[in-house]
Structure 1
Amino acid sequence: MTLEQYNALHEPEKAEVIMQGNFLAEREENGLPVQLYNLGKIYGEIYYDPLANKILRYRAFDDIRQLGPYLAHIRFNR
């Protein structure tokens, strides 16, 4: 999927498509978990409120520079 194809989806479909991707990492922002998924040519993020059990927002991007916040959460095995 390309970013243009993702952006053409209806709002309810966008979060569903991200969750069908491959989970890569999780980070925290403002006390809330943010999950990163790979969707082929793009990446998707889901901002989640576990207390309310609700997705707050989601977004997709194709610029790998936006992966920076996740680098500290990647563990490499030796």
Structure 2
Amino acid sequence: MDGKKLEYKGEEALKEIEKLTKNADEVQESLLKQILTQNRETDYLNNSGTSAGEPKLMPSIAEDLDRRTFVYNLIMPIMNQLI
């Protein structure tokens, strides 16, 4: 991720997905800990509760966009091959 442009294709994309998902539970747990630690002082985590029916705002940071872009760039070549 780290701002690198990723262009995986075919077997290379499949191998990267396999590598990233091999220990998905550990990766997700680590990422969750990182997110909660980074945001432990936010009002959102300190005042949890319902929104009384109002739409909730979903906080987002640049790292979230980087993660989404990384996954998108990784899966799109595979999806394009299936279409």
Determine which structure has more spread, i.e. the larger CA radius of gyration.
Answer: 2
Compare the two structures and name the one with the higher strand fraction: 1
**Shared fold by TM > 0.5?**
no
Relative contact order higher in (CA < 8 Å, ≥ 6 apart): 2
Q: TM-score, normalised by structure 2?
A: 0.24
